[in-house]
Structure 1
Amino acid sequence: MSKESKESKEIIYLDTIELYSSLAQIDHGLIESIQSGKQKSESQENSTKGAGDIETSLFKLVEGGIQLELTNSQSNLSSEQELVNITFNDYQLDRLLNKLGVGKLNNNSKQGDPTIENGEFEIYDFSSLASLSNDSFGSFINLLMEFANDQKDVEDDKEAKDIKTGLDILKKYGQVMTDLLPETVLLKVGNSISFLKTGCLRMSNSQLQLLSGSIRKIHVLGVIENEISNEKRELESLFEKIGDNPSLITKFVPDFIDFLLIQSQIAQKNDKLIKPVAVYF
């Protein structure tokens, strides 16, 4: 077993569908997982059905007590199953890392191949920026600016207007990126950008903010799907191309995302775009 798999990991993202798909192509690990899960489910279903057949007209209070006990038992089984699944998934990640060979992946740069990126990182949660548009946040910022300016009229203060303009740009940028990349968090590691599905994260949006500025090195296991285009990205040229050739309209969204990522200095040309399987420390 490699040194990598023996070390304790803090897993912050795990896409189990991609995990088991990779294992299934290597040694049919997905089939074993489905059979085990099915057997557990059938056992619980039979137990529930047997308890539901209890009926009596003489001891209604007793019957109520039995049903209550059954409900609690089902809840405990569900929690136990969730714990087992998490432990099992973590173990399968170690298996996949061992079978792929961590050292062999670091220099892999071909599209469609698995890779491991590691190093310093930045996390971009656009939904948090979009949430700045609510009225309570705007009112709070106004109060802060009034306090900082000794309660002067912030409408006549140039610095206050500049701050408002900057905040408005942030809010609109967050809203646009949330619309283009719904339920997605971007992770920048070196010359790569990973698109994390929020449903596979093991941290809430607020907990993700705790990672900002962390000095720890992060690891991303995934597949290189594409890269930021080498073409010159200008907003005007994107619209002109569609005007000259309407068939390019389906290409506009990915090109527009490239443009926004480059303009906001999140991405650079030739950065690898990764579909992640796991992200961990």
Structure 2
Amino acid sequence: MAHLGLPSPSSRPASSYSGFILPSSSSSSNGDDSDNDDEPLPFPEALTRRDFLTPDFDPAAYLSALHAGPTARHQTLEDLRAELRDRSTTISAELLELVNSNYTSFLSLGDELKGGEERVEDVRVALLGFKRAVEDVQARVRERKVEVGTLNKELRGVKGAVEMGRQMLELDDRITGLEARLAVGSSLGKDHDYDEDSDDDVDSWDDDLDGGADEEDEQDGGGVGFVGSSPSKLAALAREYVLVDQLANSLGRDLPFVRKMEERMTRCRNTIILDLNTALKEARRSGHSGQGRVVKFLGVYRTLKADSEAVRVLKER
């Protein structure tokens, strides 16, 4: 080509080849669209911590908002999971570091406290004083408990003695009244003085018995002509003696006062049985008209537990 007088390609200026450059393989009639498709996706921004600090945080709603709207994240699910794992690991490390730092501060708290020995000693002395005061109060309470127990025991003893004294007085009064109704001589002795009121009471009691006897005799139809005591009067005397005997048993037969009263009680019982024997004999002699009285007299014997005495009187001719 040099021999032909033509310049070599290397000797030509570069501008002379501009019209012969072939288009690249990536060029086409829609070059703008191809350039947009090959551009890399925008890298997603890191998740901010304040998004998770909202009071009404909802995980499902938050994940839905990440991939919706004009600010949608171009990120795969695996990348999102990896980012959340990294965030969780970071938070755990921060929490552990915070705990370790506070724990170290807590351990060094005792070393940092200085100058409190005097206050601690004051508190200890005050607690010891309070302990001794409590022990003193407990000791006084125990002493008072023993004292109260002793006083209660003495009070029960006094109440028992008062009750026994009341029963002893009642026993003496009942025996005295029974002796007066039976006209036993000892009831008028020097140990028993009666005033007008007591005599009136005895008379009224005897009048009541006589009135009851009259009514009973009228009902039996055989009260007329009998001199002995009526069944109702003897039954009342027998019941009174039974009450006296029960009261003596409640006090105790070994009590000296009761042993002293037994002689008077025996005299009253024998007097009642003597009157009963006389009345029973009189009723038996009266024949058919006195049969009702005989049955009632036998009931009086049973009240006095003197069945053997009744059998003895019935066997007599």
User: Shorter-chain TM-score category?
Assistant: under 0.3
Give the TM-score normalised by the residue count of structure 2: 0.18
Bigger RCO (CA 8 Å, 6+ sep): 1
Instruction: Kindly indicate which of the two structures has a greater share of residues assigned to strand.
Output: 1
Instruction: Kindly indicate which of the two structures has a greater share of residues assigned to helix.
Output: 2
Give the TM-score normalised by the residue count of structure 1: 0.20
